[in-house]
Structure 1
Amino acid sequence: MRTAHLIHGYLGAGKTTFAKALEKEAIAIRFTQDEWMKKLYGDDPPAEQFAGCTNRVSELMEEMWTRCLQVGVDVVLDFGFWSRAERDRVRSVICSLGADCRLYRLSCSDDEAWKRIEARNLKRDSSLYIARNTFEVLKARFEPLSDDESRIEV
C-alpha cells in the first residue's frame, strides 16, 4: 500500500537527517520544506514575508506529494507537523487518497538541538538560517503529539 511518512519534531531534532535515510529505505520521494524555501527565497527570508512564502511552498508541495500518492509512489513529508490541526488535516488527505500514514516523532534536548542549528547555520547548505531568538520564540507554536496519536519513536 502507498505510504506517507510524516516526520514530527522541533527545530534541530534531526528530522531532515532521518528523512534522507528513510527516503532511501522506503524508496520514497522526500519533501523537505526548508530545501524548497531556500531554493525559492534564500536562506533567510524577511520575517514579514515568511508566512506567505511558507504557505506558497506548502501548497506547491502538497500538489506534488498528493500526486505521488495517487500514482503509487510513497512520500516522506519532512515538515515538522508542529500543530495537531495540521497533522489531522494531512492524515485526512492521506486517508482520502487511500494511502497509509506513518508518523515518526524525533526529539532531543534543547541544548543538543541548538548545537545542531549553530553548526547548520555555519554551513547554510539546504537549511534556513535560524537565530537563537527565533529558536526560543517558535517553541510556543510547537504542539507535542497527543497520547492518542499513533507514532513511531525515533
Structure 2
Amino acid sequence: MMCGIAGSGKTTFAQALEGMGCRRLSIDEEIWRTYGRFGVDYPEDEYPILQASAEKILREQLVEMLQTGTKAVIDFSFWKSQTRADYRELVHRNGHHCQIVFLKVPENVLRERLVNRASRRDANAAFPITDDLLQRYIQGFEPPSGQDAWTVE
C-alpha cells in the first residue's frame, strides 16, 4: 500500500514494484480509463463520485487478486488512517499481509514536483495541485506509524 501526499513519488515507486512482478492498482488511472479526463470528459464537481466508483472497482479487483495469490501494489494516497485500516483488514481477511510504504517528502520538494507535473495532462496528473490544495492535503494528512508502515524519506 503506497501512502503519501501528492507529488511524493507514490506512482513512481509503485511502477518500480510493478516492474518486479506486482500488479499495480491505480485509482488515478482507473478514473482516467473509465471516465476520461478531468474537466473535459466529465464535470470537475463529479470527481469525488467518480473517485468512489473507481475505488469500488479496484477493491473488487484487489479481492480477486488476493484470492488468486497475485501480488499487488495499491497506488492510492491513503491519507486517512481509517482508510488504511480498512484496506489492511481487507487484506488480512483474505489471508495476506500488507505493507504500507509511506513516502515522506519535504514540502519544498512536493511543490517542485507538482510544478513539473502540472505541465502534463495524463492519468497521473489529471488536475493541477494548487498551493492552496497542497496545503489542505498537508494539513489533512494522517501519517502512518507502527509495524506495518515503512517510512521512506
Q: TM-score, normalised on structure 2?
A: 0.88
- Inter-partner Cα distance in structure 2 for 1:52 and 1:125: 20
1:71-107 CA-to-partner distances (Å, cap 9, x unmatched) read 1101000111111100111000000100121111102
Give the deviation of 1:111 after TM superposition: 1.4
Greater mean deviation of Cα atoms: 89-98 or 103-112: 103-112
Greater mean deviation of Cα atoms: 110-119 or 90-99: 110-119
- The number of residue pairs the alignment matches comes to 147
- Whichever residue aligns with residue 122 of structure 1, its letter is S
Whether 1:7 aligns to 2:2 is: yes
Whether 1:135 aligns to 2:130 is: no
- Whichever residue aligns with residue 24 of structure 1, its letter is G
Q: 1:1-154 to 2 correspondence within 5 Å?
A: 6-25=1-20, 27-39=21-33, 40-44=35-39, 46-127=43-124, 128-132=126-130, 133-146=132-145, 148-154=146-152
Q: TM-score, normalised on structure 1?
A: 0.87
- Inter-partner Cα distance in structure 2 for 1:141 and 1:41: 27
1:33-84 CA-to-partner distances (Å, cap 9, x unmatched) read 1112223241346442221111000000111111011111010001111111
Q: Residue 118 of structure 2: SS of its match in structure 1?
A: helix
Give the direction of change, closer, same or farther, for the CA distance of 1:43–1:116 in structure 2 (3 Å limit).
farther
Greater mean deviation of Cα atoms: 43-52 or 78-87: 43-52
- Inter-partner Cα distance in structure 1 for 2:90 and 2:83: 11
- Inter-partner Cα distance in structure 2 for 1:93 and 1:46: 32
Greater mean deviation of Cα atoms: 125-134 or 92-101: 125-134
Give the deviation of 1:149 after TM superposition: 4.8
- Whichever residue aligns with residue 153 of structure 1, its letter is T
- Whichever residue aligns with residue 150 of structure 1, its letter is D
Task: Give yes or no for contact 1:10–1:142 (8 Å, CA) kept in 2.
Answer: yes
Q: Structure 1 unaligned segments of length 5 or more: list them.
A: 1-5
- Whichever residue aligns with residue 17 of structure 1, its letter is T
Aligned residues: CA RMSD: 1.6
- Whichever residue aligns with residue 22 of structure 2, its letter is A
Task: Give yes or no for contact 1:43–1:124 (8 Å, CA) kept in 2.
Answer: no
Q: Residue 70 of structure 1: SS of its match in structure 2?
A: helix
- Inter-partner Cα distance in structure 2 for 1:61 and 1:32: 8
Give the direction of change, closer, same or farther, for the CA distance of 1:46–1:141 in structure 2 (3 Å limit).
farther
- Whichever residue aligns with residue 128 of structure 2, its letter is I
